[in-house]
């Protein structure tokens, strides 16, 4: 029975890119190992279970894998129809978090879940919603981005940006901008429009940075301003704003070529790098596995992004292409920004490293997006 | 459309590759190129080093009397950098009320310039528990009340110059000491033994390396070495004898201040002096006194500027911190005639028994064509009549030695510098090597030294533009220890010791042993300081006559220069030999604004025929050697005899002394004038009455010495 089936009737499983899922799971387990190594010593010292964080991360990964599988099986083209609803719900959640959320590290960005030890970060889910909604919006216009369309697209971005600004969470805002720029660039926005918006964006950022100097209200919070200063001048306030920048680079540098071995890093063990299990998880890898470990991780990420790039290219569906570009932009920006900040080539912003950083929302969202991309890859032959 | 999409996707792909390349490059830079530097930073991040101060070693005398010790002492420190200017007054007032120290004193201690202005300053020491408690109850910011190990000198000023004192490290040595593991707050030896043996006394600080996390909590102990306490230093000093020496020197100086000088008509200023007692068999220093003196405890407990000035900048007792026994340079005066006599004998210029007519002065004969000063007078211009070498020494005939020195000058050849060579042979002009800091080497003038002095500082040395050549007059002055001769007290003691013991010149030892206090498996380690022989001198034929002349110094019958001082001295078994000296000091007394008075010098050894100890006394501007210095030496010698009875030396007990018995014709043996030359124990010498002679234990009339010889 070797009947040539019609393309549309072939099983999507035949085309699905399983390697992407496997790489994601592999990354997630590296993440669990690093979560353990960056927290066990202090937890043990405090008389707690040293694997507390690792166990929690395993739970998040398990949920993430389920979400990924779920996202793979339901035909992604259905999402297009619910894109606007999803967008609306998430925006409401972002509004709600400003009133009902809990504050952590100075940002009101989390919903407390009753009876559970972890919180929900709506901004993470907003990334998915914006990717889908923006892709759907642009796909609906057939990639014909006139100025009006472009303005509407910007408006779609501006709403979540504004809401997240109020939390505030500068890092996540930048992720949205990256998603928007990626999708709109690929979707065919005119270069001059992009250049002009970029210029306007730069002016706005500089204006915010100096708003208090120009006589207006201080739009950027002091910590954000200090972080930028610390990025430009690492000797600024060594025990304060520059502490993270310096300590994370010391940790990575101390790893050397081969690293100090799992659980052996002193910077990692002794809690010398703050926020190490979340935003600075990369320093644990750098110290304990050295340049070889970093190279392997970067190769895994490269493989993941390359696969996504090829899926983007091969998809016959514009919505699929743009959604994939959105996911690609998001991952690229998060990976580069996060690793770049730990190594001192980007300013510090609170952006998690996909699959590695401890955190429920970000892990689940990352897996969900990978599921979406696998979904697109499975149905790339369908128009 | 599709074309454009692909182009833009390609752009996106290239952008991603670029970003990843940047990440790789940065990781390479951090982990391969700068990894060493960053690893070092990582190490200093988590390793905390705790240094524990070692207990400083003690300083003890030869019999275990503690001269420097450590005690726990309550101190109060105030860190004024925590207060705005003026605010500190309130704190000081409260402190002052509690510890009953005036505010002004506390203030002056805060203004101490020796330590860093921002560092916490010690404002009070020696508090007890309750004092500390009351201060800590105030809980004033920047004020700390704590226990500290503090140096204490239990014997106060006894041996102060030898023991030395400790103080805060100076700016110059700070870097070096901190590298050796000292804590910035530690005190280091500033003078004396405390300074010279700093390395032994200090010990090794303990060092603990801890692994700490970002909040400073300790996770592990990486390594630990406990502190090794410093070694104990046992001096060759005996504390009792030292106390006696210091006390007699001080009393002698006080007595001199009540004596009127014949030269000026004023009281002698007698500003200071030095006394050294040495065991001439091995070069051990038994006591070493220097006046004016001080209590080293003053220097440890944070002395105020006013206190400091009153003791150490007193114009009437200058240089209290200096150890005059090794740092004070003096003209030896007639004491130096020993050298001249030996030099004359060495050059075969002196026939020891030849008569010389001392007319009260010496004139350079015309045939030599005298330039400059030609007539040299005895000290009091008194003619002594006929003398030979022996009586010239006993009676201190200047004219005799003027002639010797003058004749030596005209020997052209190696022996022209016979005096200088002999002085050098007996250790003058170079450091003796005793274990004390800042030792002076002194100088024995010769042509080169004179020329150098005249040329470098003509204002001081040659105001009238005299010839820089070495003239006969220079040699003549040198011959009686004046002019270009300067020596230290310890050099005098050492040279006489070498002459008395038959020619062994030691480097004096003031330290007997260094005992490490940390006991290992083999017990504590001891470093003994064995006698150090510098050289063994051979004295020329006829030096026995010199010895004979020195024997007479305390003899009334032989008109020795110190006979008055030794009148009534119990010489049985402890007879002395020695030499007085009265040295003219050059220049003016800067405080009194008049010519300096003569300095008194006296060197003696005892017992005469079994020499064991040598005593040297030098007193600045205190008068005649026989009148000022000899009585001090006499009392020190009496203390020495008591010391020997207290600590009998097993080595000494049965060494048969070998008296040199000169041949005296039978006919002359009854005459006092001749028998006084004969040492005790010789069959035809003066016989000490039987009852008083402890050396005749069996009472048969024959001294034990003689019995042993039979």
Give the Å distances, CA to CA, from A322 to A139, A183, A325, B469, B541: 7, 6, 5, 110, 121
Task: Looking at the structure, tell me whether residues B426 and B399 fall in a common domain.
Answer: yes
Q: With 70 as the cut, is the pLDDT of residue B131 above it?
A: yes
Does residue A2 lie in a domain region?
no
Q: Is residue A298 less than 8 Å (CB to CB) from chain B?
A: yes
Angstrom distance (rounded) from CA B300 to CA B166? 6
The answer to whether residues B346 and B404 touch, using CB atoms and an 8 Å cutoff, is no
Answer yes or no: is pLDDT of A277 > 70.
yes
Of B11, B30, B212, the CB nearest to A252: B30
Strand partners, B7: none
Q: What is the mean pLDDT of the segment spanning B527-538?
A: 89
Residue with structure tokens 């009070």? B124
Do the domain assignments include residue B21? Answer: no
Measured between beta carbons, the chain A residues lying within 8 angstroms of B7 are none
The pLDDT value given to residue B442: 92
How much is the average pLDDT of A200-211? 74
Helix, coil or strand: residue B591: coil
User: Which residue pairs, CB below 8 angstroms and at least 24 apart, start in B315-321?
Assistant: B315/B590, B315/B591, B316/B271, B316/B591, B317/B271, B317/B272, B317/B292, B318/B271, B318/B272, B318/B292, B319/B272, B319/B292, B320/B292, B320/B293, B320/B294, B321/B191, B321/B294
Query: Higher pLDDT residue, A243 or B692?
Result: A243
Query: What local confidence, expressed as pLDDT, does residue B109 receive?
Result: 77
Mutation target for B interface from A253, A255, A263, A345: give the one with most B CBs within 10 A: A253
In a domain, A7, yes or no: no
In percent, the amount of chain B with pLDDT more than 70 equals 88
**B556 and B563 Cβ atoms separated by less than 8 Å:** yes
Q: What CATH number corresponds to the domain at position B286?
A: 3.40.710.10
Residues B523 and B606 occupy one common structural domain: yes
> Using a CB-CB distance cutoff of 8 angstroms, which residues of chain A are in contact with residue B11?
185
Does B31 sit within 8 Å of A328, measured CB to CB?
no
B527-554 burial: b if 16+ Cβ within 10 Å, else e: eebeeeebeebebbebbebbbbbbbbbb
Q: Which of B185, B211, B235 is where one domain is finished?
A: B235
Please name which of A241, A280, A248 lies closest in space to residue A358, comparing C-alpha atoms. A280
From the list A298, A266, A304, A296, the residue with the least C-alpha distance to A284 is: A266
- What DSSP character marks residue B330? B
Q: What is the pLDDT of residue B309?
A: 79
Tell me, yes or no, whether A87 lies in a domain. Answer: yes
CA separation for the pair A122, B100 (Å, rounded): 69
User: Cα(B582)–Cα(B481) distance, rounded to whole angstroms?
Assistant: 9
First to last CA, chain A: 27
Asked if B630 and B677 sit in the same domain, the reply is no
CA distance A37 to chain B (A): 15
Residue B35 has its nearest CB partner, among A253, A312, A332, at A253
Residue B35 lies in a domain: no
Shortest Cα–Cα distance, B173 to chain A (Å): 32
Residue A28 has which token pair? 């997630």
- By DSSP bridging, strand B232-235 and strand B59-60 are parallel
Q: Which of A254, A305, A321 is opposite residue B39, by nearest beta carbon? A: A254
Does one domain contain both B223 and B337? no
B174 and B294 in a single domain? The answer is no
Closest CA to B678 of B699, B706, B647, B655: B706
- The answer for residues whose C-beta is within 8 angstroms of residue B362's C-beta and 6 or more apart is B375, B376, B398, B399, B402, B403, B406, B476
Task: Give the rounded percent of residues in chain B with a pLDDT score beyond 90.
Answer: 41
Instruction: Determine the pLDDT at residue A213.
Output: 62
pLDDT tier at B619, thresholds 50, 70, 90: very high
Residue B228 sits in the same domain as residue B253: no
pLDDT: which is higher, A345 or B276: B276
Give the pLDDT band (50/70/90) at residue B692.
very low
Q: Which class for B301: exposed (0-12), middle (13-18), buried (19 or more C-beta within 10 A)? A: middle
Is A283 in contact with A259 (CB distance < 8 Å)? no
In whole angstroms, give the CA distance from residue A161 to residue A91.
Answer: 10
B623 Rama sector, left if φ>0, alpha if ψ -120 to 50, beta otherwise: left
CB contact under 8 A, B16 and A256: no
Query: What one-character DSSP code corresponds to residue B395?
Result: T
Give the one of A188, A298, A321 whose C-beta lies nearest to B20's C-beta.
A298
Give domain status of residue B44, yes or no. no
Residue B597 belongs to a domain: yes
Question: What's the rounded mean pLDDT across residues B77-88?
Answer: 78
User: How distant is the Cα of A340 from the closest Cα of chain B, in angstroms?
Assistant: 7
Point out the domain boundary residue: B202, B235, B268. B235
Name the band, by pLDDT with cuts 50, 70 and 90, for residue A2: low
Categorise residue B438: left if φ over 0, alpha if ψ from -120 to 50, beta otherwise. left
Query: Would you give the distance in Å from CA B406 to the centre of its chain?
Result: 35
Three-state SS sequence of B413-482 = CHHHHHHHHHHHHCCCCCCCCCCCCCCCCCEECCHHHHHHHHHHCHHHHCCCCCCCCCCHHHHHHHHCCC
Q: Can you give the length of chain A in residues?
A: 383
Candidate from B13, B23, B31 with C-beta closest to A298:
B23
Per-residue pLDDT averaged across B129-149, rounded? 84
**Strand, coil or helix: B52:** strand
CA–CA separation, B225 and B205 (whole Å): 8
B453 and B327 within one domain: yes
Is A1 inside any structural domain? Answer: no
Rounded Cα distance, B699 and A192, in Å? 134
- In the predicted model, what is the mean pLDDT of residues A58-81? 91
Evaluate whether residue A368 is within a structural domain: yes
- pLDDT digit string (tens) for A121-162? 899 999 999 999 999 998 888 767 777 888 888 888 889 988
Confidence class for position B303, pLDDT limits 50, 70, 90: low
CB B68 within 8 A of CB B195: no
Q: How many domains does chain B have?
A: 3
Distance CA B196, CA B203 (A): 14
Q: Is the peptide bond before B607 cis (omega within 30 degrees of 0)?
A: yes
High-pLDDT (> 90) share of chain A, %: 38
Torsion of CA A236, A241, A247, A248, to 10 degrees: -120
pLDDT tens digits, A283-294: 999 999 999 999
pLDDT of B504 > 80? The answer is yes
Q: Provide the pLDDT confidence category of residue B435 given band limits of 50, 70 and 90.
A: very high
Whether B168 and B249 share a structural domain: no
Average pLDDT over residues B376-382: 86
Q: Are residues B255 and B142 in the same domain?
A: no
Do B9 and A313 count as a contact with CB atoms less than 8 A apart?
A: yes
**Residues ≥6 apart with Cβ < 8 Å to B557:** B672, B673, B676
- Please check the confidence at residue B688 and state whether its pLDDT lies above 50: no
Count of all residues that appear for chain B in the document: 710
Residue B490 exposure: Cα atoms within 13 Å on the Cβ side: 31
Query: Could you give the number of structural domains in chain A?
Result: 1
How sure is the predictor about B491, in pLDDT bands with cuts at 50, 70 and 90? very high
Q: How many CB atoms lie within 10 A of CB A222?
A: 11
Contacting residues for A144 by C-beta, under 8 A, at least 6 apart? A188
Two tokens, residue B7: 């182009």
Q: Please write the tens of the pLDDT for every residue from B322-340.
A: 999 999 999 999 999 999 9
Range with lowest mean pLDDT among B16-30, B61-75, B486-500:
B61-75
What does the alpha-carbon distance between residue B35 and residue A254 come to, in Å, rounded to a whole number?
Answer: 6
Flag whether A340 is in a domain.
yes
- Which uninterrupted H or E stretch holds B42? helix B35-46
Whether A256 sits inside 8 A of B35 (CB atoms) is yes
- Closest CA–CA distance from residue B185 to any residue of chain A (Å): 27
| Domain closes at, from B171, B205, B235 | B235
pLDDT of residue B100: 79
Measured between beta carbons, the chain A residues lying within 8 angstroms of B42 are: 250-251, 253-254, 266-267, 287
Helix (H, G, I), strand (E, B) or coil at B229: coil
Domain assignment of residue B325, yes or no: yes
Find where tokens 């065919």 sit: A188
Residues B209 and B308 occupy one common structural domain: no
Residue B278's DSSP bridge partners are B285, B614
Query: With 80 as the cut, is the pLDDT of residue A233 above it?
Result: no
- Answer yes or no: is A289 within a domain: yes
Distance CA A79, CA A24 (A): 22
Q: Could you read off the pLDDT of B384-420 as tens digits, one per residue?
A: 999 999 999 999 999 999 999 999 988 877 778 999 9
Residue B393 lies in a domain: yes
pLDDT at residue A311, rounded to an integer? 92
| Residue entry with tokens 């080595």 | B651
Task: Give per-residue pLDDT as tens, B223-282.
Answer: 888 888 889 999 999 999 999 999 999 999 999 999 998 888 899 999 899 999 999 999
Closest CA to B286 of B242, B227, B222: B242
**DSSP per residue over A313-380, as a string?**
HH-S-HHHHHHHHHHHHHHHHHHHHHHHHHTTSS-----PPTTTSS-HHHHHHHHHHHHHHHHHHHTT
Distance CA B78, CA B109 (A): 10
Q: What residues pair up with B235 in beta bridges, in sequence order?
A: B511
In Å, how far is B34's CA from the nearest CA of chain A? 7
Q: What pLDDT is stored for residue B112 in this prediction?
A: 65
Q: Please state which of the ranges A145-149, A222-226, B375-379, B542-546 shows the lowest mean pLDDT.
A: A222-226
Note the maximum CA span of chain B. 152
Query: Which CATH number covers residue B143?
Result: 3.90.1310.10
With a CB-CB cutoff of 8 Å, which residues 94-133 of chain A face chain B?
none
B438 and B507 both lie in a single domain: yes
Interface probe for A, chosen from B27, B32, B41 (most Cβ of A below 10 Å), is B27
Lowest-confidence region among A337-351, B223-237, B511-525, B616-630: B511-525
Q: How far is Cα B323 from Cα B315, in angstroms, rounded to an integer? A: 17
Q: For residues B587 and A36, what is the distance between their CA atoms, to the nearest angstrom? A: 86
* Closest to B616 measured CA to CA, from B596, B643, B637: B637
- Burial code (b: 16+ CB inside 10 Å, e: under 16) for A11-29 equals ebeebbbeebbebbbebbe
Distance, CA of B200 to chain centre: 19
Q: What is the reported pLDDT for B690?
A: 41
Chain B residues near any Cβ of chain A (below 8 Å): 1, 4-6, 8-9, 11-13, 15-16, 19-20, 22-24, 26-28, 30-32, 34-35, 37-39, 41-43, 45-46, 211-215, 217, 219
d(CA A133, CA A332): 19
Q: Judge whether residue B699 has pLDDT over 80.
A: no
Residue B4 lies in a domain: no
Would you call B5 and A294 a contact, using CB atoms and an 8 Å cutoff? no
Examine the domain organization and report whether B690 and B593 are in the same domain.
no
Q: Can you give the residue range of the structural domain that contains A205?
A: 15-378
Average pLDDT, chain A: 85
Within 8 A of B23 by CB-CB distance, chain A residues are 298, 336, 339-340, 343
Cβ distance A375 to A333 under 8 Å? no
Residues 317-336 of chain A with CB under 8 A from chain B are: 321, 325, 328-329, 332, 336
Contact indicator for B615, B604 with CB cutoff of 8 Å: yes
- Token duo for residue A6: 């019609």
CB contact under 8 A, A185 and B214: no
Tokens linked to B597: 């008075």
Higher pLDDT, B510 or B115: B510
Please report residues of B whose CB lies closer than 8 A to that of A143. Answer: 1, 5
Instruction: Provide the pLDDT for residue A188.
Output: 79
Question: If you search the block for the tokens 């707050």, which residue do you land on?
Answer: B185
Q: Does residue B157 form part of some domain?
A: yes
Domain hosting B670: range is 666-709
Angstrom distance (rounded) from CA A263 to CA B512: 57
**Whole-angstrom Cα distance, residue B408 to residue B413?**
10
Averaged over B519-536, what is the pLDDT?
A: 79
pLDDT value at B681 more than 80: no
Q: What is the pLDDT of residue B412?
A: 76
């Amino acid at each position: 029975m070797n009947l040539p089936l019609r393309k549309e009737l072939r099983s999507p499983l035949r085309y699905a890119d399983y390697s992407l899922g496997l790489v994601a799971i592999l990354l997630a387990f590296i993440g669990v190992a690093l979560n353990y190594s960056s927290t066990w010593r202090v937890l043990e010292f405090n008389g707690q279970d040293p694997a507390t964080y690792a166990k929690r991360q395993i739970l998040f990964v398990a949920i993430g894998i389920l979400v990924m599988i779920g996202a793979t099986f339901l035909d992604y083209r259905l999402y297009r129809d619910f894109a606007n609803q999803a967008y609306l719900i998430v925006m409401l959640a972002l509004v709600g978090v400003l009133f009902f959320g809990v504050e952590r590290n100075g940002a009101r960005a989390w919903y407390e879940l009753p009876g559970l030890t972890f919180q929900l970060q709506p901004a993470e889910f907003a990334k998915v919603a914006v990717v889908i909604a923006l892709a759907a919006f642009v796909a609906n216009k057939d990639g014909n981005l006139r100025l009006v369309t472009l303005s509407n697209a910007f408006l779609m971005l501006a709403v979540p940006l504004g809401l997240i600004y109020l939390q505030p969470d500068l890092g996540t805002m930048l992720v949205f901008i990256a998603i928007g720029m990626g999708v709109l660039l690929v979707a065919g926005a005119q270069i001059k429009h992009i250049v002009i918006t970029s210029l306007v964006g730069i002016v706005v950022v500089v204006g915010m940075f100096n708003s208090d100097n120009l006589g207006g209200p201080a739009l950027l919070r002091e910590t954000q301003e200090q972080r930028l200063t610390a990025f430009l001048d690492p000797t600024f306030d060594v025990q304060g704003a520059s502490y993270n920048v310096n300590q994370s680079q010391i940790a990575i540098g101390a790893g050397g070529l081969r690293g100090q071995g799992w659980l052996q890093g002193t910077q990692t063990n002794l809690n010398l790098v703050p926020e190490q299990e979340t935003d600075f998880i990369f320093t644990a890898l750098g110290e304990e596995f050295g340049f070889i470990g970093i190279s392997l991780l970067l190769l895994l990420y490269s493989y993941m992004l390359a696969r996504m790039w090829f899926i983007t290219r091969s998809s016959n569906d514009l919505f699929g292409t743009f959604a994939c570009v959105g996911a690609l932009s998001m991952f690229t920006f998060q990976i580069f920004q996060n690793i770049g900040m730990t190594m001192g080539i980007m300013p510090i912003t609170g952006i998690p490293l996909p699959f590695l950083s401890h955190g429920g929302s970000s892990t689940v969202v990352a897996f969900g997006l990978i599921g979406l991309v696998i979904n697109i890859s499975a149905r790339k032959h369908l128009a | 459309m599709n074309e454009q999409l692909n182009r833009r996707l390609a752009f996106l792909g290239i952008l991603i590759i670029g970003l990843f390349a940047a990440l790789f490059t940065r990781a390479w830079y951090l982990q391969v190129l700068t990894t060493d530097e960053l690893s070092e930073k990582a190490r200093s991040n988590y390793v905390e080093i705790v240094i524990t101060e070692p207990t400083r070693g003690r300083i003890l005398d030869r019999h275990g009397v503690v001269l420097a010790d450590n005690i726990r002492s309550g101190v109060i420190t105030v860190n004024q950098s925590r207060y705005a200017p003026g605010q500190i007054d309130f704190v000081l007032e409260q402190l002052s009320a509690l510890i009953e120290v005036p505010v002004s004193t506390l203030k002056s201690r805060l203004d101490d310039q020796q330590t860093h202005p921002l560092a916490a300053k010690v404002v009070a020491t020696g508090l007890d528990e309750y004092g500390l408690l009351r201060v800590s109850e105030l809980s004033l910011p920047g004020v700390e009340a704590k226990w500290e190990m503090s140096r204490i000198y239990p014997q106060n000023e006894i041996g102060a110059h030898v023991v030395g004192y400790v103080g805060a490290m100076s700016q110059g040595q700070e870097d070096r000491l901190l590298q050796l593991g000292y804590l910035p707050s530690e005190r280091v030896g500033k003078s004396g033994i405390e300074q010279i043996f700093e390395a032994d006394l200090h010990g090794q600080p303990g060092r603990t390396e801890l692994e700490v996390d970002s909040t400073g909590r300790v996770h592990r102990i990486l390594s630990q070495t406990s502190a090794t306490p410093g070694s104990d230093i046992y001096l060759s000093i005996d504390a009792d004898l030292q106390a006696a020496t210091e006390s007699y020197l001080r009393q002698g100086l006080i007595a001199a201040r009540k004596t009127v000088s014949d030269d000026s008509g004023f009281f002698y200023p007698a500003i200071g002096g030095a006394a050294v007692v040495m065991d001439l068999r091995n070069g051990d220093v038994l006591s070493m006194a220097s006046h004016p003196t001080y209590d080293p405890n003053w220097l440890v407990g944070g002395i105020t500027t006013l206190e400091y000035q009153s003791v150490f900048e007193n114009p009437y007792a200058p240089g209290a911190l200096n150890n005059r026994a090794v740092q004070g340079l003096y003209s030896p005066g007639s004491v130096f005639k020993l050298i001249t006599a030996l030099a004359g004998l060495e050059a075969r210029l002196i026939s020891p028994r030849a008569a010389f007519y001392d007319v009260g002065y010496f004139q350079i004969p015309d045939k030599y064509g005298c330039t400059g000063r030609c007539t040299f007078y005895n000290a009091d211009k008194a003619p002594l009549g006929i003398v030979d070498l022996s009586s010239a020494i006993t009676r201190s005939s200047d004219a005799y030695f003027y002639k010797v020195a003058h004749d030596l000058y005209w020997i052209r050849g190696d022996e022209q510098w016979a005096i200088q060579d002999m002085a050098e042979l007996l250790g003058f002009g170079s450091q003796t090597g005793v274990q004390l800091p800042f030792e002076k080497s002194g100088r024995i003038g010769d042509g080169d030294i004179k020329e150098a002095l005249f040329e470098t500082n003509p204002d001081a040395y040659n105001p009238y533009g005299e010839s820089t050549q070495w003239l006969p007059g220079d040699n003549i002055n040198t011959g009686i220890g004046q002019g270009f001769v300067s020596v230290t007290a310890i050099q005098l003691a050492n040279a006489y010791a070498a002459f008395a013991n038959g020619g062994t010149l030691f480097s004096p030892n003031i330290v007997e042993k260094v005992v490490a206090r940390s006991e290992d498996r083999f017990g504590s380690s001891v470093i003994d300081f064995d006698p150090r022989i510098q050289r063994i001198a051979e004295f020329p034929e006829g030096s026995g006559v010199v010895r004979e002349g020195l024997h007479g110094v305390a003899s009334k019958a032989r008109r020795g220069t110190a006979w008055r001082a030794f009148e009534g001295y119990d010489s049985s078994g402890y007879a002395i030999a020695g030499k007085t000296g009265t040295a003219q000091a050059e220049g003016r007394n800067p405080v009194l604004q008049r010519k300096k008075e003569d300095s008194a010098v006296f060197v003696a050894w005892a017992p005469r025929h079994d020499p064991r100890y040598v005593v040297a006394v030098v007193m600045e501007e205190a008068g005649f050697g026989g009148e000022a210095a000899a009585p001090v030496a006499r009392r020190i010698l009496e203390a020495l005899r008591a010391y020997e009875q207290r600590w009998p030396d097993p080595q000494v007990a049965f060494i048969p002394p070998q008296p040199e018995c000169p041949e005296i014709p039978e006919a002359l043996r009854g005459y006092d004038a001749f028998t006084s030359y004969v040492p005790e124990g010789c069959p035809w010498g003066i016989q000490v009455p039987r009852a008083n002679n402890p050396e005749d234990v069996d009472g048969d009339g024959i001294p034990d010495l003689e019995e042993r010889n039979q």
